[in-house]
Structures are given as C-alpha cells and as structure tokens.
Amino acid sequence: MRRTFLKTAAAGAAMFAAIGLGTAASGQDAAEFYKDNVIKWIVPYDPGGGYDEYSRIVAPYLEKYTGARVDIANMPGSGGMKGAVEIFNSPSDGLTVGIINGSAMVTNQLAEIEGANYKVGDYNYLGRIVADQRVMVASKASGIMTYDDLVANGSPEIVGATGLGGSTYVDAVITGDALEIDQKVVHGFDRSGDIRTAMLRGDVHAMWGSLGSALKGIESGDHTLILHGEKNPTGILEGVPSIYDIAMTMDDGERRVKILESWEALSAVGRPVAAPPGVPEDRLAFLRDAFQKAMNDPEFVAQAKEAKRGAQLCVWRRHGRDRQDGDRA
C-alpha cells in the first residue's frame, strides 16, 4: 500500500491540476432559480473540524451572492469518502455542493481504495478554499519536543491518522518513508479531532495535519510543532525543521526530495468545493461566480483571519489555470 501511494502521488496532483472549470459568467435564469431556494452543503467530517469550520464561515457569504439558503450537512465516514461519494451521486440540479479532501480523494481513486465510488475528474468544481500548509505535531505527553527527539527515542513512535487514504495517513506514510522515521501509523480515526483527543490521553504520540487545524493545540501548549513541509517557511514555521532540509542531509537526498515534492504537489490540491456531475451550465456558472465573490468578500476574509483559517481562492479554467488568490490568514 505504501508503494502505491508513493507511485501515485505525483500522478494524482497532475490529474487534479488538469481539471477544467469553464467560465464564471452567470445567467439571469440561474439567479431566479436560486433565489429563495435551498443549497445543501455537505461536509464529509463531523462538526468541529477544519472542514466544518471553513464551511460554516463561507456559507453566509454564499447565501449573500446566490440568494439561496445554505444548509450544512455533516456526513462523516471512511476518512471523508462517504460525504464525497454522496456529493458525487447527488441530483444534478445544482442544489447540492460540498467541500472535499482533494488530495485524499485523488489518492483513494488511484489506489483503488474500497468505497472510492467516484471519478475525481467528473466533479464540477467551484474552486478551492485553501491549500493547506502541512505540519507534524507531537503531544506534550509524549515528551517529544523536537524532531531530534522523535528520531532518537529508540522505539517506533505512534502516529495517528484518519481513514486509510486520508490526508493525515498519506502525509505520515510518504514523509515517514522518505525520511526513514521509525513509526507505527495507526489509522481509522473518524476525524483529526479524534486523533488530538488520543494524543491528550497518551495513546498517540504525533500526527500530521494542516497548520490551521494545529494552531490551537500549539498555542495552548498541548502540542509541539516539530516538522513542516514548506521550502520557504514564514511566521510560526521559521526555525522548525523542514522535511526538505532533513532529506538533503541523508544519503540519496535528491531522490528523497523528489518524492517529497510529489507529496507537496498532492497536498496543494487542498480543500476544493464541488458539485456533482451534470449540473446545468448556467447554474454551474452562477455558482462559480457566487463562490468567487463570497471568497473575495472583505467581511469573509476578515472572519477567516479572525478564526485563524487561511482563505485562498483558486479557480481552474478550461485553457490552463487561472489562479486567483485571496488574502491568506
């Protein structure tokens, strides 16, 4: 399984980057359709996590620009696959959208994980909310304060992860193999919040995840930031070891870096918002336009910053990629 993920990481990132989104022009008929209607927004994880928080922050602004009510529906299961499949199989009337774990969905499909009953290229994408900065944190209870502590303990570290193929699992497996970390990856947690609870109990020593989701634990002192996946770190990441720096100190460093760059490209897929296949073009164009306006709304940007959640809009077009970046908290 680990070899499968290593081989498919770069292919998955390229596959997702090639997805076309069409134009963002809206039509009057679509505006009339959405006015006073109800849009179901699926979150493939339990309430309280990063995907849920992003969704609840952006929902009022999508309401503002569509004229519809947006109802959040949490649908956890199978590391995010259950909700992703629900989005894919929903009616194509344009009244169902959702946020998905893009990198995990690509990996699951290419690795033919059981339950991956969707085709990444057939979703209708509205855009991406954020490309996460990936970090590894250790629990205070573990006694691990630095990366050197992690690799010098003399026994395998217990690293928690969500469902097989989820981003926390992919992060741990790829970086662990590339850096030869002595670890045991325990997967099957429903969401990242459950891993953090296990870390507080001492059942799990460390985990990978997004910086946005890790900040609360870091600031409270419950977790220590020991590793990150950035080549040019800024802010809180400065002074913390980078996977790339560590890889280049090892034998065959360039090969290791190439593996990690493939992982980074996969992580850049981020958290896209998608509708099922077959949505009428005028409604899809209207939704994309409304989503772009919501993501660029100054009040939304300010709220995302206040919540310490990065907001970075990315839109792909039919002929190449037209990337539009909002403020990043």
Integer angstrom CA distances of residue 299 from 50, 58, 165, 215, 294: 19, 10, 35, 22, 9
In sequence order, the β-bridge partners of residue 186 are 160
Q: What is the pLDDT of residue 129?
A: 84
- As assigned by CATH, the class of the 2-131+270-322 domain is alpha beta
Question: For 104-145, what is each residue's pLDDT tens digit?
Answer: 888 788 778 888 899 998 999 999 887 778 999 999 999 999
306-326: average pLDDT: 46
Q: DSSP secondary-structure letter at 113? A: -
Tell me which of 121 and 277 has the higher pLDDT: 277
Would the pLDDT of 75 be above 50? yes
Query: At a CB cut-off of 8 Å and minimum separation 6, what does 219 contact?
Result: none
237-242: average pLDDT: 96
Q: What is the pLDDT of residue 57?
A: 94
Q: What is the pLDDT of residue 39?
A: 98
Would the pLDDT of 94 be above 70? yes
Would the pLDDT of 154 be above 90? no
The reply to whether domains 2-131+270-322 and 134-266 share a CATH topology is: yes
Both ends of the chain: CA-CA distance in Å? 35
In the chain, the percentage of residues whose pLDDT exceeds 70 is 84
Q: What is the pLDDT of residue 113?
A: 82
Question: For 178-190, what is each residue's pLDDT tens digit?
Answer: 999 999 999 988 7
Domain boundaries, the chain: 2-131+270-322, 134-266
Q: Which fold has domain 134-266?
A: D-Maltodextrin-Binding Protein; domain 2 (3.40.190)
| Confidence band for 309, pLDDT divided at 50, 70 and 90 | low
Which amino acid would we find at residue 74?
N
Tell me which of 241 and 1 has the higher pLDDT: 241
Q: Which stretches within 221-272 are classed as H helix?
A: 243-248, 253-267
Q: What is the pLDDT of residue 2?
A: 46
Mean pLDDT across the chain: 85
pTM (predicted TM-score): 0.71
